[in-house]
Amino acid sequence: MSCRPWSPRCRAAVVVPLLVVGCVDAGHQSVATVLGGDATRGAQAIGTYGCGSCHMIPGINGATGTAAPPLTSFASRTSVAGEVSNTPPQLVAWIMNPQAIEPGTAMPNLGVRAADARDIAAYLYTLR
């Protein structure tokens, strides 16, 4: 690179590649960032609320339930319970109150707090 340090031309050569890397990176970790959820805390919350007694959930100790659909590859699903499209707000809403989305569903309301639901959703979106 033949430019004086901090001349505008020189800065452009340095800054532009940094911006591109930043954008690619943001796209990569989209869900956890958008939700403000934390996947590590989500994994713990899944254990606390006992989701694994009904669901098979990869990466969660003892989550081998068979009463409900497995939550494998959840990030690649198009819908939540076949009812609503699989977006972060709708997944959080389902986790907090599935009966509101599908009245009569066999998934009970477990009284999941909003912050816990965001963390759990962040974890489920790590399952690709």
Binding site for ligand HEC (CB under 6 A): 49-51, 53-55, 67-69, 71, 77, 80-82, 94-95, 102, 105-108, 110, 112, 120
Least CB distance to ligand HEC at residue 52 (A): 8
The nearest distance, CB 101 to ligand HEC, in angstroms, is 9
Residue ranges of alpha helices (H) inside the chain are 8-28, 30-35, 39-49, 88-96, 98-101, 114-124
- Which secondary structure element, helix H or strand E, spans residue 72, and what is its range? none
| CB-nearest residue to ligand HEC | 51
Closer residue to ligand HEC (CB): 9 or 113? 113
Task: At 101, list the tokens.
Answer: 């989305």
Do 112 and 99 meet the contact criterion of CB atoms below 8 Å apart? no
Shortest reach from residue 27's CB to ligand HEC, in Å:
23
Give the span between the Cα atoms of 56 and 74, in whole angstroms: 11
Smaller CB separation from ligand HEC, 8 or 108: 108
